[in-house]
Amino acid sequence: METLIFEYQLAEIDQMAQQLTGHLTHPILILNGEMGAGKTTLSAALLRALDGLDLPSSPTFSLLNPYRLPDQKWVYHFDFYRIKKEQEAIDIGVDDYFYSGERCWIEWAERIPNLLPDQYHVIQLTVVDADRRRLELKTVQNG
């Protein structure tokens, strides 16, 4: 499993996101990092890099925010921070989203370990300092 590492200043996030999109070969992307690491900020930059048509926001309270892309494609941004049981994710139809072929970005995926597809990307975001972040991208293939 190859790991790509990017270290960037927050002012450079759009350029880094543009580079990063070329490495995202699977539609499922897990975003890991402590609260405040910049997962939603990174999601916004990735959406801009994909020419997204909507303004992103954190889906913490809604669990899911859908974003339109050109050519009638979608990004489904999930945040499972508030769920207590995997059944809550099942109830909103995560299987339909995860296996739709559309992009799904998932925060707090550790709350739904049994629902994840066999292949996905994982981004680990780490705060280096107030202005810098370290991003590690890995591809997971189970089965």
Sheet holding 132-141, edge to edge: 3-9, 132-141, 119-129, 28-32, 103-107, 73-79, 64-69
Please give the tally of structural domains in the chain: 1
- Split at pLDDT 50, 70, 90, the class of 136 is very high
pLDDT in tens, 92-110: 999 999 999 999 999 999 9
Joined together, the tokens standing for residue 137 give 């991208």
Q: Which percentage of the chain shows pLDDT scores above 90?
A: 87
Please give the torsion angle defined by the CA atoms of residues 29, 108, 77 and 63, in that order, rounded to the nearest 10 degrees: 160
Residue ranges making up the domain that contains 84: 3-141
Question: Are residues 79 and 59 in contact, defined by beta-carbon separation less than 8 angstroms?
Answer: yes
Q: What is the pLDDT of residue 60?
A: 60
Q: What is the CATH number of the domain that holds 71?
A: 3.40.50.300
Residue range 39-50: mean pLDDT, rounded: 94
Count Cβ atoms within 10 A of the Cβ of residue 116 and give its class: 0-12 exposed, 13-18 middle, 19 or more buried. Answer: middle
Round to whole Å and give the CA distance between 73 and 114.
Answer: 26
* pLDDT score of 109: 96
- Residue 73 has a pLDDT of 95
Q: What is the mean pLDDT of residues 58-86?
A: 89
Q: Taking the mean position of all CA atoms in its chain, how far away is CA 47? A: 10
As a whole number, mean pLDDT of residues 28-36 equals 94
Q: Is the pLDDT of residue 114 over 80?
A: yes
Percent of the chain beyond pLDDT 70?
A: 96
